[in-house]
Amino acid sequence: MGCAQSQMAGADSGMKVVNVDKVKSGSKMLPRGAGSARYKLRRCNCCSFSYFALCKTCPRCNDAAPVVRKPIVGGNWKCNPSKVSELKELVANIDACDTSGCDVYVCPSTLHIGIVYKSFKNGAKVAPQNCNYKGCGAYTGEMSADQMVDMGLEWCLIGHSERRGEFGLPTPPESNSLLAMKCKYLLEKGMKVIFAIGEPLPVREKGLKAVMETLIPQLLEIKGMLDPARVVLAYEPVWSIGTGVTASPAQAQETHRAIRQWIAKEVSPSVAAEIRIQYGGSANAKNAPDLSKCPDVDGFLVGGASLKPEIAEIVAAVAKEKCWRDLGNADLFPAAVYEKSGLRKTGAVTWVKA
């Protein structure tokens, strides 16, 4: 969809409410520069009327404009690097990412969080790769949200396939119920959650219906917690993680769309429209541009490529395609633009002849 989308919803969810008046219905007069990125026009899907993309609804038929979700890219370092001396280079890779049009977070190994969590200068967030569900106490080997909050951390990743049993160890995998408990606990402590879901290859080979039959139970127990401002979903086709085999853009889009449709039915259309869904599975600088073109793919959870400088290229690719901008409270259509065209500004996007 790109730049010609309306930026709506709350700032915490990576979106902005643009308070603009309706463009005069049927008016053919546009200020100079209206064709530029700043004054992008959209064509209504309902009545084909052209209007400023910054409007929330079509001024002719009142059809709602689509939501733009700020893209988000996460770098999962997993159990890397092996040496503390290598952290400086990894931090530099993340700091090279332009975060103006894309949220960025990084998941260092547990041993390294305390070393790097204050190192990032570009606004990138640090997200632990796991969390317990009860807080501090006699929980050997665990981390609590209380500790994370005290350190100023805002995000936590849970539900990664490698926590759900993909280690192949003779230990019980983290169940959907346990992950729901963790999600609830993190949210109650004021944290934000990256919640990973996915399916193995034998399921994918059976088609989309089988994929959704695997994903729905992973979502069912957290559907009441899907606050777009505080939860990001990370869809990981397990068969592509670390294998170099990436889901095609068509496969990624159909799955993301199906997830969004399920949320629209089971939670609400507004939550489905606003919640961000990342793709995770051998994402890299080469395939990121094509995957970013998928309208329901809102970014990436990156594994191996996040240990390389190309992570900045991945962030740049999705930011370029989605064209999200933090408009803040700026005057989107300065009076000078209208004056050059012999017009006098009367509202945010309305005018009369001077």
- Active-site residues: which are they? 160, 236
Cβ–Cβ < 8 Å for 39, 94: no
Residue positions counted in the chain:
354
DSSP state of 238: G
CA dist list (Å): 351 to 21, 27, 88, 190, 333: 11, 10, 54, 44, 11
The set of residues, in sequence order, having a beta carbon less than 8 Å from that of 315 and lying 6+ positions away, is 73, 97, 98, 99, 102, 104
How far apart (Å, rounded) are the C-alpha atoms in residues 292 and 72? 11
The set of residues, in sequence order, having a beta carbon less than 8 Å from that of 7 and lying 6+ positions away, is 15, 16, 17, 18, 54, 68, 324, 325, 327
Cβ–Cβ < 8 Å for 72, 104: yes
DSSP state of 287: T
Question: Could you tell me the two tokens for 221?
Answer: 């127990």
CA dist list (Å): 247 to 120, 236, 253, 308: 31, 10, 9, 21
Instruction: Find out whether the peptide bond into 108 is cis, omega within 30 degrees of 0.
Output: no
How far apart (Å, rounded) are the C-alpha atoms in residues 43 and 58? 9
How far apart (Å, rounded) are the C-alpha atoms in residues 241 and 353? 59
How far apart (Å, rounded) are the C-alpha atoms in residues 53 and 2? 11
